[in-house]
Each structure stands twice: as C-alpha cells, then as structure tokens.
Amino acid sequence: MPQWLQLSLITGGAIAIIALLVFIRRQMVMLSENRKRQHKAEAFQAKRRQDMIDSIHVIAMAIEEDQVEYSEACLRIKGLLDHVEPQLMEKPPFRVFMEVYEQLRHMPTHQARQDTEARFVDKMDKERFAVEKRHADEIRRAATAIRNHPF
C-alpha cells in the first residue's frame, strides 16, 4: 500500500475520531443540562406542592379558629387538594370539602359576584349560609383531620 494512502487513511481516521469525540462531548453537555433542568423542575414542583400543603394547613387552622367562612375555606381546600392529593376527597372526613363545593359551585365568585344583582346575591348568601350550617361540624372535623394529615 502506498505511503500517501496510509497517511490519508490515518488522517481520515483521526478526523473521524475527533468528530466522534466532539459529538460525544456535546451529548454529555446536553445530558448534563437536561439533568440540571429536570432537578430544577422537580425542586420547583416539590416547593410548589409544599406551599400548597402549607396553605391547606393555614386554611384548616383558620376554620378551627372561626376566622374564615366555611364555604370559602371548603372551596379553597378543594382547589388545593385537586393538585396535592385528589383521592383524599373521596375519603371521610375529607369528603365534606367536595360536598360543599358541589353544592356551591353554581354560585358566581369574584367579579361575577360583584356584577350580579344584589337581590340575587342575598338569595345565594342565604343558601350558602344554610350549606355552611348544615355541614359545620363535619367541616370542623375535616379541618382538624386535614391539618394533622401526613401529605
């Protein structure tokens, strides 16, 4: 085999090796960046979940100390539990949060409530207070249970 062919093959092989090394290095960097991104996303999700759990505990304490309307608390806890542990609302005593939500979900909130006629708002408030009164003991028991629940 001529010497120039040997040199060409050696050079071609060296170029291929260098190209493969560059490719492998880029892949390693990408994998490392993806791992960092994934860890960051997992940490964010874990913090977000813990913040929601803390919010549930605060709302439960507010219920126990009668610092919040039970209907408002049930709606908020139900919304948080949807993200944290939705299957919990199927179990007693936590089922009351879903029951109250189901009975009140047709009522307008926020701006829609402000835009609603006062007479209709008064009627809804009476209905809401009746639901709260009917479930008050269950709500208090559920609040104590959820505050002590290990998430």
Each residue of 74-104: pLDDT tens digit?
A: 999 999 999 999 999 999 899 999 999 999 8
Structure pTM? 0.76
Please name which of 80, 77, 82 lies closest in space to residue 96, comparing C-alpha atoms.
Answer: 77
Own/partner contacts of 24-30, CB < 8 Å, gap of 24 or more, are: none
Q: What angle do CA 88, 92, 97 make, to 5 degrees?
A: 65
Beta-carbon contacts of 60 under 8 Å, excluding residues fewer than 6 positions away, are: 73, 77, 143, 144, 146, 147
- The pair of structure tokens assigned to 140 is 């208090």
Alpha-carbon dihedral 51, 54, 58, 63, rounded to 10 degrees: 110
The pLDDT, as a whole number, for residue 59 is: 97
Per-residue pLDDT band at 139 (split at 50, 70, 90): very high
